[in-house]
Amino acid sequence: MTVRLLDFYADWCGPCKTQDPILDDLEDDYESVAFEKVDVDEEQDVANQYQVRSLPTLIVENDDGIVDRFVGVTQREDIEAALKQAGA
């Protein structure tokens, strides 16, 4: 099963910068998960597809679809729980 974490961010977003180190640590620990950064300024169509309205937004999905969605700075433990639920 493929598990992805989509990180919707913008360069001007302060909370996004706070989220980055948490995601970097998770990426080191979860090699089976595809971590993808989506710059909402450059990829508005993707942001619209996922109905992203606030930043940062994290979406955990697997082959079955979206497993969880987080809006705002999210703690590592919450993201890990969603990754495990998705099958990581």
pLDDT in the model for residue 2: 96
The CATH number that applies at residue 49 is 3.40.30.10
Q: The pTM is what?
A: 0.96
Residues with catalytic roles: 13, 16
Question: What is the spatial distance between Cα 69 and Cα 55, in angstroms, rounded to a whole number?
Answer: 12
pLDDT in the model for residue 72: 98
For residue 37, the enclosing domain spans: 4-86
Question: What is the spatial distance between Cα 37 and Cα 53, in angstroms, rounded to a whole number?
Answer: 16
Return all residues near 54 (Cβ < 8 A) that are at least 6 apart: 71, 72
pLDDT in the model for residue 70: 98
Q: pLDDT tens digits for 23-67?
A: 999 999 999 999 999 999 999 999 999 999 999 999 999 999 999
Question: What is the spatial distance between Cα 34 and Cα 60, in angstroms, rounded to a whole number?
Answer: 10
Alpha helices in 1-72 (DSSP H): 14-29, 44-49
Count structural domains, the chain.
Answer: 1
pLDDT band, very low/low/confident/very high, at 14 (cuts 50, 70, 90): very high
Q: pLDDT tens digits for 63-88?
A: 999 999 999 999 999 999 999 999 99
